[in-house]
Amino acid sequence: MKHYAQVFEAFNQGADDGWLKSQRIAAFARFEHLGFPTPAIEYWKYTDTKALAKRDFKLATDYDQQAAQQLMADKGLQLDAYQLVFVDGLLCKELSNLEGIQDAVVIEPLSQALATELELTSGMMGRLAGIDVDVFTALNFAFVSEGVVVRVGNNQKVDKPLLVTYLSTATEEAVMSHPRILIAAGASSELQLIEHFIGAEEAKNFTNRVVEGVMERNAKIHHTLLQQPSDKEWWVGRIQIEQKRDSRYTSHQMNLGGKLVRDDLVCDLNGTGAECDFAGLLFGRNRQHMDIHTLVNHNAPLTNSFETYKTIMNDRASGVFNSMVIVKKDSQKIQAVQNNANLLLSDQALINAKPELEIYADDVKCAHGATTGQLDMDALFFLRSRGIGEEEARGLLTLAFANEVIDKLELPAIYNLVETAVAGQLPHKIELDLIQ
């Protein structure tokens, strides 16, 4: 804590007096007041942040340009997209490219938006993910300086996906970053957002990112999160979405890396006809710990939520899946489906799965279920009896388990990345066009 106070003081001292500075001070006070969560708090029951709390992280002031470029070349997605790249929390202009954005769409780095459009930006920041939401959200606000602002005008469909890549490099001293993405999606607008977190093998940094998105009537956001920090890294994320009438938010969360991962996703379905659809995969190995929490508030009638989450834990990895759906008193005729299946690949792996429902309306359709199991030994024997090596057969069956989720990934570059991460080097996929 003392360390954070020192870093914070040095960080905020240089800032200009004004809205942001005072907000940061309030946020840091909130963080100090709450402290790092312990398992005594129900919301953090299965995730212990003690080891994280002990570490001292610095704020990066510079980064190795060559290392960043190499990391991007090795692991970055090859996509035709508007691109913003951050390295250890700092904007990397050389790797970013926002050329050709249509007139009624604004995509810019948060630092730029804070400098040039403070009023507009401050109105977006902390509205959904304020300092009272969670201690890490408060911490993010205290140190917020970089990120992305997206404003999509009414009836605008952003013509290319927005790819935000966060590179985490192997630094001498571990660094922390607190990026924040602010989205204002106009009525009947459409946005595809892809976030890709990449950690260098020896990186041991702490990333704490927050996304806030307000969706106007009939807006659509398709959000993909590819999370691949190194297995020595700490990663905390929160997404808060407010949905107005008939809006639709889809999320694909692929948690594939990190030493300790906590991922929170919250949707407030505030308008009739609003719908959210979450699919997620947690894939843990070695001693990784991954925790995903989702919360859907059905605050209006005729709203729908769908969730499909799969977790795969190998070695001594542990996973947490907790999904909460709350149906308000007057939210009649809603539909909520929570599906969760878990695969344990070793005897020492662990999963805590808890789908929860709180229903205060009487005319609703809700279903939830969670299953946990191991690979089917008969299926494994069958594949091996056809000549397929044991490792490959395990990979195939593991992939088959994850398929329900990763089949939803429409872009081949993303699908391949996740497939490789889950199943290792399987033989090349059959070209589908040959089989008609």
Partner 1 sequence: MIEIKDLHAKVEGKPILKGLSLSIKPGEVHAIMGPNGSGKSTLSAVLAGRSDYEVTSGSVTFFGKDLFEMSVEERACAGLMLAFQYPVEIPGVKNVYLLKAALNAQRKARGEPEIEAPTFMKLVREKLKFMKIDNSFLHRAVNEGFSGGEKKRNEILQMLILEPKLVLLDEIDSGLDIDALKVVSEGVNSLRDAGRSFLMITHYQRLLDYIEPDFVHVLSDGQIIKTGDKSLALELEDRGYDWVVEETA
Q: Which residues bind partner 1 (CB under 8 A)?
A: 376, 378-379, 381-390, 392-393, 396-397, 399-401, 403-404, 426-427, 430-431, 434-436
Nearer to partner 1 among residue 286 and residue 371 (C-beta): 371
Cα separation, 99 vs 192, whole angstroms: 17
- What is the nearest approach in angstroms of partner 1 to the Cβ of residue 382? 5
- What is the nearest approach in angstroms of partner 1 to the Cβ of residue 362? 36
Nearer to partner 1 among residue 66 and residue 385 (C-beta): 385
396 phi/psi in degrees, rounded to 5: -60, -45
Residue reference for tokens 């606000």: 141
Using alpha carbons only, how large is the chain's radius of gyration in Å?
Answer: 21
Nearer to partner 1 among residue 79 and residue 396 (C-beta): 396
- What is the nearest approach in angstroms of partner 1 to the Cβ of residue 53? 40
221 close to 185: Cβ distance less than 8 angstroms: yes
Encoded tokens for 263 = 């991922």
Cα separation, 265 vs 223, whole angstroms: 11
Nearer to partner 1 among residue 18 and residue 389 (C-beta): 389
Nearer to partner 1 among residue 356 and residue 391 (C-beta): 391
146 close to 90: Cβ distance less than 8 angstroms: yes
Q: In sequence order, what are the beta bridge partners of 291?
A: 262, 320
Concatenated DSSP letters of 152-169: E-TT-B-SS-EEEEEEE-
391 close to 425: Cβ distance less than 8 angstroms: no
- What is the nearest approach in angstroms of partner 1 to the Cβ of residue 174? 39
- What is the nearest approach in angstroms of partner 1 to the Cβ of residue 427? 6
| Calculated CA dihedral for residues 137, 60, 254, 315, nearest 10 degrees | -100
The H helix count followed by the E strand count for the chain is 10, 21
Encoded tokens for 103 = 């007139």
Encoded tokens for 357 = 């429902």
- What is the nearest approach in angstroms of partner 1 to the Cβ of residue 88? 38
Residue type, 375: L
Encoded tokens for 271 = 């308008």
Nearer to partner 1 among residue 14 and residue 427 (C-beta): 427
- What is the nearest approach in angstroms of partner 1 to the Cβ of residue 237? 28
Cα separation, 54 vs 72, whole angstroms: 30
Nearer to partner 1 among residue 40 and residue 432 (C-beta): 432
Nearer to partner 1 among residue 219 and residue 393 (C-beta): 393
- What is the nearest approach in angstroms of partner 1 to the Cβ of residue 61? 48
Nearer to partner 1 among residue 40 and residue 430 (C-beta): 430
- What is the nearest approach in angstroms of partner 1 to the Cβ of residue 412? 17
Q: At a CB cut-off of 8 Å and minimum separation 6, what does 163 contact?
A: 77, 79, 81, 82, 83, 84, 194, 196
- What is the nearest approach in angstroms of partner 1 to the Cβ of residue 309? 16
Nearer to partner 1 among residue 367 and residue 400 (C-beta): 400
313 close to 292: Cβ distance less than 8 angstroms: no
